[in-house]
Structure 1
Amino acid sequence: MAVSSITAFWAVSVLLILVPGADWAYAINAGLRDRSVVPAVGGLLLGYLALTAVVAAGVAAVVARTPSVLTTLTVLGALYLVWLGATTLARPAVAGTGGEAQAGGASKAADGAAVGARILKGIGISGLNPKALLLFLALLPQFTTPNDSWPLAAQIGTLGLVHTLSCAAIYLGVGVLARTVLAARPAAARAVTRLSGAAMIVIGVLLLVESLTA
């Protein structure tokens, strides 16, 4: 597989990652609410690894032959995005609301359940993110070479890993920066999360309109 193909995909991938969306909002919320941003970001990364496996299994080819499949997935992702935006607006993040021990001390089981919930939610956010679906199902296969010495699954796996590693660096940075910059500014933290929630709703609605009127 040519290094130029990997580099070109990485450039497109990073540009898409840098566009704020559901992933950003989730990383920011984790930075403000949780003891660590790692579970939330880890969930996002697992979602991208799952998408990589799905595309490597040949689902992208099925989607290419049946556009209605991508439309359905996009609609589901858009609806999930609207729901996430609404819940974010309803419960704007406040620094430290999830990171401090509860009265009497939280049990290890409760802590483990909370971590698991953050991971699962992260998987859902990245796995159903319309931006991610577009990248993995529509754009990623265009950077592969059918007659290359590398098997197609290996090419897709490499590109998916490149995207996932880029996400890890950027979203961990977003979460830590949110904790550092906004932790002592509760009003700013609420404003940022409300803006993120509103943006998710707007993006979700626009995707729904575009998908259903196409």
Structure 2
Amino acid sequence: MAMNPELLLACWGMMTLMVVLPGPDWAYIISAGLRDRSIVPSLAGILVGYLAAVAAVAVGVGAAVAALPMVLVVLTFAAAGYLAWLGVRVLLAPPAVAGVTAGLAADGAPSSTSAAASVDRPWLRLAQGAGVSGLNPKGLLVLVVLLPQFTDAASEWPIPVQLAVLGLIFVGSCALVYSVVGVSARAVLRARPTALTVVSRVSGAAMVVLAVVLVVEQLSHLLG
């Protein structure tokens, strides 16, 4: 038989709950919503990073990572360093209120005259988003530790196929939640343009704080 619908629903609920919890992805997509003309490149990058992780888990890399805890430790420190770098960049160079609001039309959408300036290398945003999600320890734990718990040995579908399907559910939840978060950040800018610098700095600081938390947690596990 195919996968149990109740199992899929339970997986979707758990995955959505994990995605709703604020983390590195939240900080990055909020920053993208405030800074960029469109959140699509940044959101696509996050999804690409998770799709790559899902593919790796489905072919068995996840089991190898689970069997070698030091790999997860290295990835965590790499993620912390990357997040800290992104956060410091946002703190040092937040988007200017005048520059962004001047490019907004009456309905809050970017005007055509500022379109070229607003699109700041989409490929770079995509790569950064992939780096944030691909190195996100929370996402890796979800895919490596939680997903296998929702597989069904009695199903006609092979375990790798089940893991791929469950992983796509997780990616779908990410797409839904982060789209809402990014668009909401843009709506805040339209309603209160002066809040741009404040919220941008907060998101940058959040990335740095999350990086510190990741390092402290890993050190406590290693030294505990």
TM-score, structure 2 length as denominator? 0.82
Cα shift readout 1:26-69 (whole Å, capped 9, x = no counterpart): 22222222222111111111111111001111011112221111
**Aligned partner of residue 152 in structure 2, secondary structure:** coil
Work out the CA distance in 2 between the residues paired with 1:72 and 1:145. Answer: 31
Is the 1:33–1:94 contact (alpha carbons within 8 Å) kept by the matching residues of 2? no
Is the 1:45–1:168 contact (alpha carbons within 8 Å) kept by the matching residues of 2? yes
After superposition, where does 1:42-191 map in structure 2 within 5 Å? 42-94=44-96, 96=100, 106=116, 114-191=121-198
1:31 to 30, 33, 36: 33
- Shift of residue 190, structure 1, vs aligned partner: 2.0
Work out the CA distance in 2 between the residues paired with 1:64 and 1:25. Answer: 27
Q: Indicate the residue corresponding to 1:40 in structure 2.
A: 42
Q: Indicate the residue corresponding to 1:201 in structure 2.
A: 208
Work out the CA distance in 1 between the residues paired with 2:83 and 2:147. Answer: 22
Cα shift readout 1:59-81 (whole Å, capped 9, x = no counterpart): 11112221111111122112222
Work out the CA distance in 2 between the residues paired with 1:10 and 1:48. Answer: 16
**Aligned partner of residue 150 in structure 1, secondary structure:** coil
Is the 2:31–2:203 contact (alpha carbons within 8 Å) kept by the matching residues of 1? no
| CA RMSD after TM alignment | 2.5
Work out the CA distance in 1 between the residues paired with 2:166 and 2:95. Answer: 34
User: What code does the residue aligned with 2:57 have?
Assistant: V
User: What code does the residue aligned with 1:130 have?
Assistant: P
Distance change in 2, residues 1:130/1:145 (3 Å): same
In structure 1, runs of 5+ residues without a counterpart are none
Work out the CA distance in 1 between the residues paired with 2:163 and 2:39. Answer: 28
Distance change in 2, residues 1:33/1:195 (3 Å): closer
Is the 1:44–1:122 contact (alpha carbons within 8 Å) kept by the matching residues of 2? yes
**Aligned partner of residue 121 in structure 2, secondary structure:** helix
Q: Indicate the residue corresponding to 1:192 in structure 2.
A: 199
Q: Which deviates further from its counterpart, 120-129 or 27-36?
A: 27-36
- Shift of residue 183, structure 1, vs aligned partner: 2.9
User: What code does the residue aligned with 1:7 have?
Assistant: L
Work out the CA distance in 2 between the residues paired with 1:165 and 1:142. Answer: 19
Work out the CA distance in 2 between the residues paired with 1:93 and 1:6. Answer: 41
Work out the CA distance in 2 between the residues paired with 1:114 and 1:45. Answer: 18
Distance change in 2, residues 1:29/1:100 (3 Å): farther
Distance change in 2, residues 1:60/1:32 (3 Å): same
Is the 1:43–1:119 contact (alpha carbons within 8 Å) kept by the matching residues of 2? yes
Identical aligned pairs, as a percentage? 48
- Shift of residue 147, structure 1, vs aligned partner: 4.5
Work out the CA distance in 1 between the residues paired with 2:153 and 2:71. Answer: 23
Number of residue equivalences: 210
TM-score, structure 1 length as denominator? 0.86
Cα shift readout 1:107-137 (whole Å, capped 9, x = no counterpart): 9xx95x7111111111111111122112112
2:17 to 3, 15, 33: 15
